[in-house]
A = this chain, B = another copy of it.
Amino acid sequence: MNLLPEPVTALVGALSRLPGIGPRSAERLALHIVQADSVFVGQLAAALIAARERVTACEVCGSLTESQPCPVCANPARDPAILCVVERALDVLSLEKSGTFKGRYHVLGGRLSPLNGVGPEDLRIGELETRAQAGAVQEVILALGSDVEGEATSHYLATRLAPRGIRVTRLAQGLPAGSGLEFADELTLARALEGRREIT
């Protein structure tokens, strides 16, 4: 016996396919939606469609945009000599929020993960090399995660880019801002010591 009305079951199924939404969250959301204001539900459905239809990946950097190229790539004030390489479009947002980077971006679309069958050809690495080869790029900042796969991806990219005479850098590792030593794990402390700087 199906305990929920069929449209609710269908909605639970669709919601469960979203990342981070388990079967119980999907059930709770679906039951909220059937009892929610129908104007709101209509707006939510329209927002889903509009976001999917109007937003695409920038043909140059791979970040999300409504126009081609994206506002960052189209902005002449952004330095074309510095490329910041990130895993996901969301990372561009995080870096833009920090407000300190004035160069341009390149979204890889993931990281190398041989165990999950993700090789260089599955990421936007060819596009990165093409951009690097075009001449304007002097520095590539690798802003990837500091876990094993992120590190491996950084090293792979460094071996591809450094021989072309491009300066390849990575984000500093160390204590998070505003955090005490007692919250840092040993590896973070080791990296923070390693990367220590003169107080000027």
Say whether A20 contacts B28, CB under 8 Å: yes
- The proximity string for A residues 38-61 relative to B, scoring 1 for CB distances below 8 Å and 0 otherwise, is 101111111111111111010000
Q: Which residues of A contact B (CB under 8 A)?
A: 1, 3-8, 10-11, 13-15, 17-21, 25, 27-36, 38, 40-55, 57, 64-66, 88-90, 93, 96-97
Say whether A47 contacts B10, CB under 8 Å: yes
Say whether B30 contacts A19, CB under 8 Å: no
Say whether B28 contacts A55, CB under 8 Å: no
Say whether B41 contacts A52, CB under 8 Å: yes
Tell me the number of copies of this protein.
2
- Determine the chain B residues whose CB is within 8 A of the CB of A55 once the complex forms: 5, 7-8, 34
- Determine the chain B residues whose CB is within 8 A of the CB of A35 once the complex forms: 57, 64, 89
Among B34, B42, B43, B96, point to the contact of A51 (Cβ < 8 A). Answer: B34
**Closest chain B residue to A21 by CB distance?**
B29
Among B15, B21, B52, B97, point to the contact of A34 (Cβ < 8 A). Answer: B52
- Determine the chain B residues whose CB is within 8 A of the CB of A48 once the complex forms: 11, 33, 41, 44-45, 48
23 contacts between A and B (CB under 8 A): A4-B64, A5-B66, A6-B66, A7-B47, A7-B51, A10-B51, A14-B44, A14-B47, A15-B47, A17-B44, A18-B32, A19-B29, A20-B29, A31-B64, A31-B89, A34-B52, A35-B89, A36-B52, A38-B53, A41-B49, A41-B52, A44-B48, A48-B48
